[in-house]
Structure 1
Amino acid sequence: MIESSTPPLADLDGYRNVTDLLVARAAAAPDHVAFEVKGADARGPWRPITTREFLTQVRALAKGFIAQGVRAGDPIAIMAPTRYEWAVADLASWFAGAVVVPIYETSSPSQVNAIVADAGVRLAIGGTTEHAVLLRAALTQTGRNTLGAWTMDAAASGTLSDLVARGVDVADDELEARRTSASQDDPATIVYTSGTTGEPKGVVLTHRNFLGQVLNIAAAYREIVNEQGNTVIFLPLAHVLARGLQLICLASGMRIAHLSDPSTVVATLDTLRPTFLVVVPRVLQKIQAAAADKAAEKKLSAVWAKARSTAVAWGHRAELIDAGRRVPKDLGLSLRHRFFDALFYRRLRTVMGGRVGYILSGGAALDAELSLFFRGIGVPVIEGYGLTETTAPLTGNLPGRIASGSVGSPLPGLTVRISDYGEVLARGIGVFGGYRNPAHDEGAFVDGFFRTGDLGRLDDQGRLFLEGRLKDVIVTSNGKTVVPTRWESAVEADPLVSHAVMVGEGKPYLSALLVLDREQTVAWAASEGVSIPPIAEADLRAVTDPTLRARLQNAVDAANALVARSEQVRRFSVVFADLDDRALVTPTMKLKRSVVLDRAAVTVEDLYL
């Protein structure tokens, strides 16, 4: 199959722009709790915010924007960690008729300057005083007539409360005129891509893109996203996936809590008890690795290994049943599953709050066995796929139709086509119309389809299987063309490996760099009595400890067993890297391959001596 489509489930008639989602929800259920918010005291309770309260706060801030001089179509930048005020500022910007320009809170001053200048930002909001200082400097550098940088920090000067105070005299009629000024085809946001393979590009997404995705995805996943459910958003709201999720939950009545520090998520789940979570695969790997470590502490590693394989087998059986296959009863498997559920699985579900019905995984490839494991412990993982240019999800598995290893079928209103070269092409309701800079559109579209740059295939049921990035393809000196994704993903399943990077362009054989997860590696070294000397991370120099290399040789051998001989890695180096360095790693934790290869040039060259 070279093309797969899913018809839309939702009608956009009756919606002028994204703000209608909130207005409609507030009219239908004004007293329903829309958000749970942590107060100034981090140890205090979570406070409920109703849809009516949220709408009131949004309208008040929108009036402040108007009083400050924001005009319809003006870009407003938001640079802040994931928090409730991000949601208020986002919707308030749209109520004021503005265009939102999200900036990752970890962006460097040069990145902030470039985005503010390119987008023509007139007013900016920072999560902290430090963010506001960066934004203020960027606005000054533009030399344009701008409206200042404000902060969510209540203890500082120039706060959102100050803006609200300025807007008290703005009439409701004026606000309503501004709220309805944008049509479905007007820009709603300009999102700058993280640039793993080149310079960041400003992706212009319209109100139609957001409305189409929100309404269709809500309809497709009504079993998961509904008034009875709640979720925790800890992914960056500067990323379109988190913002899209927030709008879907808001429109569907699903309660939202925000966490700015992902490291606090596990400790918070027991309190918030979400029914649904959106994560990146690394989070699932860490949950599984933590369980393995706990078992090791209690001298139960061999028992855990059997529990893990039992969960995978149980998950595989469940998927076969979902697919309508006749599966014979397996009393032994059932008994083992019941035993390990009491010993391990139930505790893992409790760690996740005890109510999680589904997990959505995106942002990177999910190992099929890891997906089956979570299905086997009673928490199915729905893997999806999308890009900024497709307003987040393009494809996704659905409840009752999960196929591990696949990223699912096109979501309602979307079409996926596979080109003659194996590239994934996209068209439909969520697909953007072009970049802010028209020069970036060159080569981005073919026959009305957006070129994703990803390689993939469709099975006979129209499900998409990803096979790597077009620009990551390696051609060795022997003329062999290798797509590294499958090998890299297999090695990254090891908890000590944060990233695996296959190399070998123009070389006689393939090699790899294994970038260590510092936290997991330090814990492993302590448990094994291994001393790893401090390594300067900037140049990605090799770590030569023989015990560590022997430990990781097993992961390399296992990955090599999955691929053809011509795709196997002969040599590898183990390195540490600063994974908080935004010049090296994107905000969604993807390595910038070109930067890695540049910094690790000496280490890579040593692999071919």
Structure 2
Amino acid sequence: MDDGIGGTVREFSSPPLAAPATGGLADSVYETAERTPGLVQLSRRKPSSDRQSPPEWCDVTNIQFRQEILALAKGLLARGVRFGDRVALMSSTRYEWTLFDYALWSIGAIPVPVYPSSAAEQVRWILAETRAVACVVENEDHAMTIGAVCDALPDLTGIWQLDRGCVAELVEDGHDVPEGLVHRGRLGVTPDSVATVVYTSGTTGRPKGCLLTHGNLAAEADAALAGWHELFQDTGGLAPATLMFLPLAHIYGRMVQITAVRGGVRIGHHGSLSPDSLLPALTSFRPTYLHAVPYVFERIHQRARESAEQAGRGELFAQAAEVAVQWAAARERRAFGRGPGPSAALRLRHSAYDRLVYQRLRAVLGGRVRNVISGGSTLGRELGLFFAGAGLTVHEGYGLTETSAAITANPPHRAKAGTVGPPMPGASVAIADDGEVWVRGDTVFAGYLNHPRCTQQVLRNGWLATGDLGTLDEDGYLSITGRKKDLIVTSNGKNVAPATLEERVRSHPLVSHCLVVGDNRPYLTALITLDPPALAHWLTIHGREQLDIRDALTDQELHGEIQRVIATANTAVSRAESIRAFRLLPHQFTVEQGLLTPSLKLRRQAILQLHADDIDELYAP
């Protein structure tokens, strides 16, 4: 086969399960309001809820949701927003974001998400390139960020602030606008119309705006609803519900919203990934399934382990974790016809630990969650098996902004931990000769805004060249092994994809981030940051006094622990690919420093530049 890939090692495709979409994304809101007006579509925080305590929720029915969207859409028309105009949204995840998305789609306008952590120059670039006519911001800080650059934005005519009641003001302005004007814009939207311009995280260089159509986003949502319908159905009297806490500025969070609205799933909003605020929100909302990133699963596991150790039950937790992994691995082998499943003895131990450990873990997520979808980056196989063994099946997936989120995902009853699954329904995945992952399907974007040359470089004869490296196994399940641009070439000519090694090191609770170094060097080294709460816990359980992070960096016992982590990670690779030396750093890699993308991926070049002296010392004679 040769479709512009230059020959492929292997290709897998999944047949479509849903009919092609018609119209625009807002249509589903109006249709479901007619069909099931009393169905609860959302639950929003009560205005009196303290955001630092478990929130209280009030329900919003389909008909109420439609009326709020219609009223806001009329207000947007009154303020001069027209079909095809672009309006920026700069906010954390909250109810009003969903309102604005669907109100803008109701008049054929195009929302442009902006990360609330974006710097003024990043905001200026996005608003200038998209020629946004207005910007919705969450608070005064965001308004000041826009204000600092608005002189360079001649198209910008309005800044509307959520925390100052802009929704009510817009609704009041649109009171006398005929509803027919809204519907005229909505009915003018086709599947080929651009629905949103989402900017890539940009691990290197300036981010580019991805043009995603109504058809792209509808195809993604409908494929998920058809292929994973068990997650979105009423089971045992429990109406499906999910709490959205991923950033709506990221395509992953946005697709959670669109899929839930199209599928009639009740959704709530929570604007933080911090366990201190997220866990109480989960307990009060009680979702039936969740979408998250590996960071969330890692922190939940770490919190559970630390709580057990502090209560003197560390050994019990360790044994329960081992049994969970063994039980889930045995069930996985049986699902693929490669084993009989858990033995009677293993089932007995698993049942005992379910009462002692696993139930408590599920209670942390509200007690009703049985399925979780992981994306954004790679989840370790052992962690995936642990959660599966604890009664939380992890459906890990893979995708890009350019693919409207997931293009592959682990299906129900055939999840394979450590992989990102086979192609989604209606999608194809192939591996090029150089190991690059190529994909195609109805979810692949229309191109980059104002960058036709970049579009031509990645879109070839219907295929999207992802820039990621991966392999396909005999069942058509994809494993991601790294990024092409992150390949390290040592001075002796060895090519090394660092992602797998970095992930193995980072799986240790003490390690916050790991960056493997070695371009044009004789061997590999690593820069490592420590997780401060995990360090404090480690010192406590080892009977040590607490140490300042800088003092901890020279502690011999701690260095020995990290050295053992490195040695364990090195067992998975050849000596030429192993880490020979490492340096502990006194600070975290953060988004604010420009060392992480908003989706928490490493900005490798920025880190290498900042720590050039540390790296030189690692290679000093």
TM score, norm. by length of structure 2: 0.93
User: Aligned-pair distance for 1:526?
Assistant: 4.5
Residue 202 of structure 2 is aligned to residue 195 of structure 1? yes
| Residue 463 (structure 2) aligns with | 449
User: Percent of counterpart pairs with the same letter?
Assistant: 39
User: Aligned-pair distance for 1:229?
Assistant: 0.9
2: distance between equivalents of 1:60 and 1:52? Answer: 12
User: Aligned-pair distance for 1:523?
Assistant: 3.4
User: Aligned-pair distance for 1:530?
Assistant: 4.7
2: distance between equivalents of 1:65 and 1:328? Answer: 58
1:142-173 Cα shifts (integer Å, max 9, x gaps)? 123x32100111xx37x121111111111111
2: distance between equivalents of 1:76 and 1:582? Answer: 28
2: distance between equivalents of 1:500 and 1:488? Answer: 5
* Compared CA separation, residues 484 and 214, structure 1 to 2 (3 A): same
Residue 89 of structure 2 is aligned to residue 74 of structure 1? no
* 3-state SS in 1 of match to 2:470: strand
1: distance between equivalents of 2:456 and 2:255? Answer: 27
- What letter is aligned with 1:110? E
2: distance between equivalents of 1:442 and 1:512? Answer: 36
1:210-237 Cα shifts (integer Å, max 9, x gaps)? 1111112111111002352111110100
Match of 1:374 among 357, 382, 387: 387
Residue 463 of structure 2 is aligned to residue 418 of structure 1? no
* Compared CA separation, residues 205 and 462, structure 1 to 2 (3 A): same
Match of 2:373 among 360, 378, 381: 360
Residue 566 of structure 2 is aligned to residue 556 of structure 1? yes
User: Aligned-pair distance for 1:448?
Assistant: 2.6
Match of 2:497 among 483, 496, 499: 483
Written as runs of structure 1 = structure 2, the 5 A alignment for 1:90-109 is 90-109=101-120
Which segment drifts farther, 472-481 or 324-333? 324-333
- What letter is aligned with 1:462? G
User: Aligned-pair distance for 1:534?
Assistant: 5.1
1:518-542 Cα shifts (integer Å, max 9, x gaps)? 332233345442544355xxxxx99
| Residue 569 (structure 1) aligns with | 579
Any stretches of 5+ residues in structure 1 without a counterpart?
536-540
Contact 1:530 1:547 (8 Å CA) reproduced = no
Contact 2:471 2:478 (8 Å CA) reproduced = yes
Match of 1:296 among 303, 309, 317: 309
- What letter is aligned with 1:163? L
* Compared CA separation, residues 582 and 213, structure 1 to 2 (3 A): farther
1: distance between equivalents of 2:466 and 2:300? Answer: 31
Written as runs of structure 1 = structure 2, the 5 A alignment for 1:232-381 is 232-263=243-274, 264-327=277-340, 330-381=343-394
| Residue 121 (structure 1) aligns with | 132
- What letter is aligned with 1:41? S
User: Aligned-pair distance for 1:595?
Assistant: 0.7
| Residue 4 (structure 2) aligns with | none
* 3-state SS in 1 of match to 2:457: coil
* Compared CA separation, residues 80 and 48, structure 1 to 2 (3 A): same
| Residue 12 (structure 1) aligns with | 20
* Compared CA separation, residues 426 and 382, structure 1 to 2 (3 A): same
Match of 2:180 among 173, 185, 192: 173
2: distance between equivalents of 1:319 and 1:583? Answer: 40
| Residue 538 (structure 1) aligns with | none
Contact 1:33 1:48 (8 Å CA) reproduced = yes
Contact 2:273 2:296 (8 Å CA) reproduced = no
User: Aligned-pair distance for 1:110?
Assistant: 1.1
1:85-106 Cα shifts (integer Å, max 9, x gaps)? 0100111111121111000111
* 3-state SS in 2 of match to 1:394: strand
2: distance between equivalents of 1:327 and 1:423? Answer: 35
Match of 2:475 among 454, 461, 464: 461
1:456-477 Cα shifts (integer Å, max 9, x gaps)? 1111221111111111111111
TM score, norm. by length of structure 1: 0.95
Which segment drifts farther, 459-468 or 333-342? 333-342
* 3-state SS in 2 of match to 1:405: coil
User: Aligned-pair distance for 1:330?
Assistant: 2.1
2: distance between equivalents of 1:72 and 1:137? Answer: 28
Contact 2:330 2:339 (8 Å CA) reproduced = no
User: Aligned-pair distance for 1:599?
Assistant: 0.8
Written as runs of structure 1 = structure 2, the 5 A alignment for 1:430-445 is 430-437=443-450, 438-445=452-459
2: distance between equivalents of 1:352 and 1:518? Answer: 24
| Residue 212 (structure 1) aligns with | 219
Any stretches of 5+ residues in structure 2 without a counterpart?
1-8
1: distance between equivalents of 2:369 and 2:342? Answer: 27
1: distance between equivalents of 2:549 and 2:320? Answer: 36
Contact 1:116 1:139 (8 Å CA) reproduced = no
* 3-state SS in 2 of match to 1:191: strand
Aligned residues: 599
Residue 601 of structure 2 is aligned to residue 597 of structure 1? no
